[in-house]
Amino acid sequence: LTYSRTSPGMHIIHIAAEMAPVAKVGGLGDVISGLGKALQRKGHLVEIVLPKYDCMQYDLITDMKALDVVVESYFDGQLFRNKIWVGIIEGLPVYFIEPHHPAKFFWRGKYYGEYDDFKRFSFFSRAAVELLYQAGKKPDIIHCHDWQTAFVAPLYWDIYAAKGFNSARICFTCHNFEYQGTAPASELASCGLDVHQLNRPDRMRDHSADDKVNTVKGAIVFSNIVTTVSPTYSQEVRTVEGGRGLHETLKSHSKKFIGILNGIDTDAWNPSTDNYISVQYSADDLQGKAENKDAIRKCLKLSGSEGSQPLVGCITRLVPQKGVHLIRHAIYCALELGGQFVLLGSSPVPHIQREFEDIANHFQSHSHVRLLLKYDDALSHLIYAASDMFIIPSMFEPCGLTQMIAMRYGSVPIVRKTGGLNDSVFDVDDNTIPEQYQNGFTFVAPDEQGLSSAMERAFQHYIRSPESWQQLVQKDMRLDFSWDSSASQYEELYERSVARARAAARV
Ligand code: ADP
C-alpha cells in the first residue's frame, strides 16, 4: 500500500471511529487530527484508519481513491471482502475501510447509535488490523481510541502477534469512561476473539454480570500504554464513583495509565484567520470581536442596543454529563443578570431534545435568548467569536475542548471544576493561584447555586471593570493550547514503550 517511512521518526498508526473535520461527533474527532498532525510535524510517519462512512464530508478529503487490493477479514465464521480507499485529511494519510458485508455496517447515515454498534465496530477493528497485517506494515505504535476500536488490543496480541505481526506496541486512549462497549460475552466471538479465554474477571468480564464483556476493560488489560485525556480525570476514574466499574482494573494497571490533557487544533481554531467569522481579530486588535458580536445579534435577531450587555455562549452535546439542568438554569441566570444567551446544541436523548425544543420555542422571538438545536460547525465558530463568556457546567468532563477554543476566541470560560476543566481553567478570584494562570471562573458544587455565584462574579467583573476584563480576554487569547506539548508527552510514552520492547527482545 501507498505510504512508507522516509524519516527516522516512529511509525504511528491511529485506528479510530472519528476524525475531524470529515467524520466528527465530538472531541475524539478533534484529537485524531490534532494529535496526528502534531506528531507528523515532529517527524513521525502518522497514518489513520477509519471506517468509510456514507455520511462523511467527502468534499474535505483530498485525493480519495480506491486501491486495487481487496482485504478479506474474518467475521462470524467466514471471510468478508473489504474495499480499501485512501485519501488525505488535513495533510494526514488515511485508509478507509468499506466492508462488503450484507449488513452495510457504515452505510447508515450516521456514525453511532445503531442497534448493532458492537458488531459494526468489532468488524471494523478486525478489518483494520487485518489491513495493516496484509499490507506488511511494521508500525512502532498502534494507537486505538475508545470502545469502538478497543477490540484492536486483544485482537493484536491474541491473534496477530502469533502470526508474526508483532512490531508494534499498543496504546489505548479512553476519551470517556462513560462509554465502555459492553455486550453479551458470546458477541465477542464474531470478530474471532476467544470468549472462553477473555471472559475472565482479570481480562474482559464486565463487573456487572458474569456473561457480559467490556471492551474498554479489554484494552486496558491488553495495551502497553493506557491514557485518558486529562490528569484530573485520570485520578477521578480511579475512584468508585468516577470509574464506572473500572476503578479496580485501572488501579491494578496503574503503572501504564496516565492522563494527558488534549490540545486544540490551533490552525482550525484561529480568530485571526477564521473564514467562518464575520471579521477576523486577534488579542492585539479586539475591535473585530465586537463586530462579530453585532453580526451574530443581527443574524439571530437579538437586540443589539447595549454594547455593555455580555453575551454568554454554550456549545455542547446536550447529554446528562454536560449538566443539562445547569445549562437550562444558566439561560435564566444570564437573563436575570442582564445578559444575553446563545446555545448551540443537540441531543441524542429524545426527552432532553424535547425539553430544549420547548425552551427554544418559549424564547423564539425573545430579544436576549436564542437556542439553536442542531449540530453546526460553521455556526459554532461564530458563537465562539461573538460571545464574551462561555458556560460549561459539566457533571464530569474527561478533558473538554470548548473551554480551550472559547479562550482562544476571547470568550472567558465559566466552568465546573471537574476533569480537564480543572486542569485548564483557573479562577480569577482564587488568590492561591498565581495571577498569570488565572483565566476564568470556576465553581465546585454541581448545583444551581454554585453556577449562579460564578456567573454573578463574571458579570460583575465584566460590568464593573471593563479594562481588567479586556486584559483577561487578551490573556486568555494568548494562552497556548496547541497540541505541541501534549503530543510531546505522547511521543515520550511511545518512545519509552518501544525502547522497553526492544530491550526485552535483546535479552
Ligand atoms: P464532547 O467530546 O464530550 O462532545 P468536547 O468539549 O471534548 O466534548 O468536544 C466538543 C467539540 O464538539 C467541540 O469542538 C465543539 O465545538 C463541538 N460541538 C459540540 N456541539 C456542537 C454543535 N451542536 N455544533 C457544532 N459543534 C459542536
ipTM of the complex: 0.99
* Ligand 1 centroid – CA 149 distance (Å): 21
Mean pLDDT of the residues in the chain: 96
Secondary structure (3-state) at 305: coil
Would you place residue 274 in the very low, low, confident or very high pLDDT band (cuts 50, 70, 90)?
very high
Q: Which of 10-24, 31-45, 95-109, 303-317 has the lowest mean pLDDT?
A: 303-317
Identify the DSSP state of 229.
Answer: S
* Ligand 1 centroid – CA 22 distance (Å): 14
Cα 64 from Cα 150, distance rounded (Å): 27
Q: 48: how many CB neighbours lie within 10 A of its CB?
A: 22
Closest-CA residue, ligand 1 atom 17, reads 26
Taken as a whole, the chain contains a residue count of: 507
Q: What is the pLDDT of residue 6?
A: 56
* Ligand 1 centroid – CA 346 distance (Å): 10
307 pLDDT more than 90: no
pLDDT tens digits along 212-245: 999 999 999 999 999 999 999 999 999 999 999 9
Q: What is the pLDDT of residue 183?
A: 98
The pick from 319, 380, 404, 481 for probing ligand 1's pocket by mutation, whose C-beta has the most ligand atoms within 8 angstroms, reads 380
Q: What is the pLDDT of residue 3?
A: 56
For the CA of 346, the nearest atom of ligand 1: 23
* Neighbouring residues of 436: CB distance < 8 A, sequence distance ≥ 6: 475
Tell me the whole-structure pTM to 2 decimals.
Answer: 0.94
Cα 367 from Cα 462, distance rounded (Å): 21
* Ligand 1 centroid – CA 118 distance (Å): 24
Residue 2 vs residue 172, higher pLDDT: 172
For the CA of 262, the nearest atom of ligand 1: 7
For the CA of 374, the nearest atom of ligand 1: 23
Closest-CA residue, ligand 1 atom 20, reads 316
Secondary structure (3-state) at 343: strand
* Neighbouring residues of 238: CB distance < 8 A, sequence distance ≥ 6: 247, 250, 251, 254
Strands of the sheet with 11-15, listed across from one edge: 62-75, 78-89, 92-99, 45-51, 11-15, 141-145, 169-174, 225-228, 257-259
313 contacts 300 by C-beta, under 8 angstroms? no
* Ligand 1 centroid – CA 201 distance (Å): 35
Closest-CA residue, ligand 1 atom 24, reads 375
144 contacts 171 by C-beta, under 8 angstroms? yes
116 contacts 99 by C-beta, under 8 angstroms? no
* Ligand 1 centroid – CA 376 distance (Å): 10
Q: What is the pLDDT of residue 26?
A: 83
Task: Select from 200, 41, 179, 205 the least CA-distant residue to 118.
Answer: 179
Question: 19 pairs with which residues across the strands?
Answer: 23
For residue 219 the three cell numbers come to 484494552
For residue 149 the three cell numbers come to 476500536
- Which domains does the chain carry? 11-263+485-506 (3.40.50.2000), 287-481 (3.40.50.2000)
* Ligand 1 centroid – CA 126 distance (Å): 29
349 pLDDT more than 60: yes
Query: With the C-alpha atoms ordered 223, 75, 46, 96, is the resulting torsion angle positive or negative?
Result: negative
342 contacts 300 by C-beta, under 8 angstroms? yes
Give the binding-site residues of ligand 1, using a 6 Å CB cut-off. 26-27, 30, 315-317, 344-346, 375-377, 380, 399-402, 405
Would you place residue 199 in the very low, low, confident or very high pLDDT band (cuts 50, 70, 90)?
very high
* Ligand 1 centroid – CA 315 distance (Å): 6
Closest-CA residue, ligand 1 atom 18, reads 316
The pick from 24, 174, 375, 404 for probing ligand 1's pocket by mutation, whose C-beta has the most ligand atoms within 8 angstroms, reads 375
Question: Distances in Å between the alpha carbon of 408 and those of 39, 267, 402, 507?
Answer: 22, 11, 10, 49
* Neighbouring residues of 135: CB distance < 8 A, sequence distance ≥ 6: 1, 69
The pick from 276, 316, 372 for probing ligand 1's pocket by mutation, whose C-beta has the most ligand atoms within 8 angstroms, reads 316
The pick from 346, 375, 402, 486 for probing ligand 1's pocket by mutation, whose C-beta has the most ligand atoms within 8 angstroms, reads 402
Q: What is the pLDDT of residue 452?
A: 98
Q: What is the pLDDT of residue 304?
A: 84
Give the mean model confidence (pLDDT) for residues 271-289: 97
* Ligand 1 centroid – CA 85 distance (Å): 28
What is the distance in angstroms between the CA of the first residue and the CA of the last residue of the chain? 33
Cα 84 from Cα 100, distance rounded (Å): 11
* Ligand 1 centroid – CA 19 distance (Å): 13
For residue 174 the three cell numbers come to 479512553
pLDDT tens digits along 374-428: 999 999 999 999 999 999 999 999 999 999 999 999 999 999 999 999 999 999 9
For the CA of 176, the nearest atom of ligand 1: 3
Q: What is the pLDDT of residue 5?
A: 56
Cα 481 from Cα 186, distance rounded (Å): 43
190 contacts 122 by C-beta, under 8 angstroms? yes
Q: Considering the chain, what percentage of its residues have pLDDT values greater than 90?
A: 95
* Ligand 1 centroid – CA 207 distance (Å): 30
Q: 353: how many CB neighbours lie within 10 A of its CB?
A: 15
Task: Select from 243, 368, 236 the least CA-distant residue to 296.
Answer: 368
For the CA of 321, the nearest atom of ligand 1: 3
4 pLDDT more than 80: no
* Ligand 1 centroid – CA 477 distance (Å): 19
Q: What is the pLDDT of residue 358?
A: 98
Q: What is the pLDDT of residue 342?
A: 98
Would you place residue 305 in the very low, low, confident or very high pLDDT band (cuts 50, 70, 90)?
low
Q: What is the pLDDT of residue 241?
A: 93
* Ligand 1 centroid – CA 4 distance (Å): 34
For the CA of 372, the nearest atom of ligand 1: 23
161 contacts 135 by C-beta, under 8 angstroms? no
